[in-house]
Amino acid sequence: MSFLNRIESPDDLKKLSPEELPQLCEEIRQQIIPVIANIGGHLASNLGVVELTVAMHYLLNTPEDLIVWDTSNQAYTHKLLTGRREQFHTIRQFGGMSGFCKREESPYDTFNAGHAGTGVSAAVGFVEAREQKGQSHKVVCVVGDGALTSGLTLEGLQQAGDRQKDLVVILNDNQMSISKNVGAISAYLNRTITGEFYSKLKEETSQILGSIPQIGEPVKKMASRAQELAKGLVLPGLLFEELGFRYVGPMEGHNFEHILPTLQNVLKLKGPTLLHVVTKKGLGYEPAMKNPVWFHACSPFDIQTGKPTKKAVRPSYSAIAMEALVKLASVDKRIVAITAAMCEGTGLSVFEKAFPDRLYDVGIAEQHAVTFAAGLAAQGMRPVIPIYSTFLQRAYDQVVHDVATQNLPVTFCIDRGGLVAEDGTTHHGAFDFAFLRHIPNMTIMAPKDENELQHMMKTCLTAPGPTAVRYPRGSVLGVPMDAEPKALPMGKGELLKSGQDIALVAVGVTVHKALEAAERLEQEGISAAVINARFVKPLDGELIREVSQQVKCLLTIEESSRMGGFGSAVLEFLSDEGVTNLPTKCLGLPDWYIEQGPQELLREKYGLTADGIYEQAKQLLAKASIQTVLA
């Protein structure tokens, strides 16, 4: 009988012997791989922490003892061991389990997270709450080595070291974040693991022990088990010791003979302790081990080959934006690009190939990326930061304080704007229009298609101050492309269709949906004007004023938060113009966190399809008719 099928909670896990745990880990991998092959997800990182996860739940008394997963996209094994095995096939699907930890889903999920660097700070909060309440449970935080480049992680370590309360931080070191890790901290960890002195000492000691008759091999085996703690004596983690932590490791993270006794002893220690565990991303599935970058967050794939089962017919918006960037950089040597450990995800690999000395990967450090860009811009460079919308949130103060107050020409390529599907709540790009629009000096634009996107790239890189171009996740529309990017008139939208009954004022990905809705309205004898706003800021007030004077009502459409977004900007303009008798409505995302699910399904749910726009337009027209009668 399968070991995994017997486990409904960590209590069942504890009934297994240590010798049975490797077989359980194999079953866990065989459960994870086919599910993710079918629906996509974070595969490589999850395969790398199977043994570590089993060991923690084997030794800890969860959920009384608390495990905090930094980022939490590596918690699939954790979910399988905590009563969610039967629902695992629903992971990352609409109405199913989250691909991240979610407190609403299970008492074993202690903290919701989808961004790297949050774990240690949350764990320190858990520790201090425990102390305030007079409790005695364990708090363990699992943090990836890539997250050590996050300033938030270092801030949390600093406080934990200062407070000297019981806390175990497990550094899951696989030499990767999403891309290969970069920077001084990564180099430090790599030296710790591969140091020449340690490697030579280990080899010579093994040879000496093995040559001793009769007792040599048993002693050698004992030394092998003890060597993980010995490393801490030979190569102490000075960085962590200086921060106030007791450092243990580095130790191999896939061998229960090492990890169980070491973790058991570490859990008995007082004060803050950092256990350095070295793991292999993608372990147990050869394609994921060979290509951990693609399998970090992969689409559905064929298990036998590891190849994607579906290939996009058209390129992504990310690819079009970066192709335009390469063209522009080829004629302007001031253009440089910055990424926060997202070179492949944002499409920057093509820029890296063309201009390797003009790409800066700063690691998972979005705040630093933005202020670093400000420094470059202050010295005459034209820095570009391709970044997911949800990750730009992390650098809000730097956008305001370091870029915009100085009116520096930094370009933000905001990728994954709007709904992003299965990654769900923490990854939807819902708030960028709202949190950027009110910043003085900021210009914000969103293209209706890929051709307009390349022109907006040119517009950004010829503007005198900070700019943001925001585009969605997914494939482009397939419209004809102009040969070269050309700058658009700043702050000017375009009237795509004239009309006398209703104005559909759309921006970005919603523009073509608005055109489709207008065609349906025309079939019913309703004359609909359609505006492609192009710019969220500065708004084309002249065009909006002109069209609003010709129609009975006005509907704004955006795939972003209604509160403070593009529609709010239009309403503010109309109010300033004294237009008070025009029925209006803003169509966009509501005031709650949007759940996971396919993009088109979510767009349908929130009325952001052609049908949804059509229905909202009909309702608004009916309201306008009633108001006219009452008047």
Strand duo 535-537 + 443-445: pairing: antiparallel
Q: Is 221 a catalytic residue?
A: no
- Residue 369 · residue 394 · CB < 8 Å: no
Helix boundaries (H) for 476-597 = 511-523, 541-548, 566-576
Q: Structure tokens of 13?
A: 């896990």
Measured distance CA(465)–CA(491) in Å, rounded: 14
Considering 84, 92, 246, 281, which one is annotated as catalytic?
Answer: 281
Separation of first and last alpha carbons in the chain: 76
Beta strands in 90-213 (DSSP E): 139-144, 167-173
Three state DSSP letters for 457-469: HHHHHHCCCCEEE
Q: Structure tokens of 492?
A: 């000017």
Measured distance CA(626)–CA(620) in Å, rounded: 10
Whether the CA torsion 114, 416, 476, 526 is positive or negative: it is: positive
Beta strands in 367-470 (DSSP E): 382-388, 411-415, 443-445, 467-470
Measured distance CA(272)–CA(257) in Å, rounded: 24
The CA-atom distances, in angstroms, between 379 and each of 440, 466, 472, 519 are 21, 15, 31, 50
Per-state percent for the chain, helix, strand, coil, to nearest 5: 45, 15, 35
Burial (Cβ within 10 Å: 0-12, 13-18, ≥19) of residue 607? middle
Q: Across-strand partners of 250? A: none
Q: Across-strand partners of 339? A: 361
Considering 323, 366, 450, 558, which one is annotated as catalytic?
Answer: 366
Q: Is 270 a catalytic residue?
A: no
Measured distance CA(520)–CA(322) in Å, rounded: 35
Q: Is 103 a catalytic residue?
A: no
Burial (Cβ within 10 Å: 0-12, 13-18, ≥19) of residue 547? buried
Grouping H, G, I as helix, E, B as strand and the rest as coil, residue 491 is coil
Measured distance CA(135)–CA(138) in Å, rounded: 9
Sheet holding 246-252: strands in order across?
66-69, 139-144, 167-173, 272-278, 246-252
Q: What are phi and psi of 528, to 5 degrees?
A: -115, 125
Q: Which residues contact 420 (CB under 8 A, 6 or more apart)?
A: 390, 427, 428, 429, 473, 599
The CA-atom distances, in angstroms, between 198 and each of 58, 172, 226, 275, 283 are 31, 20, 14, 18, 25
Considering 92, 102, 231, 394, which one is annotated as catalytic?
Answer: 394
Active site residues: 281, 366, 394
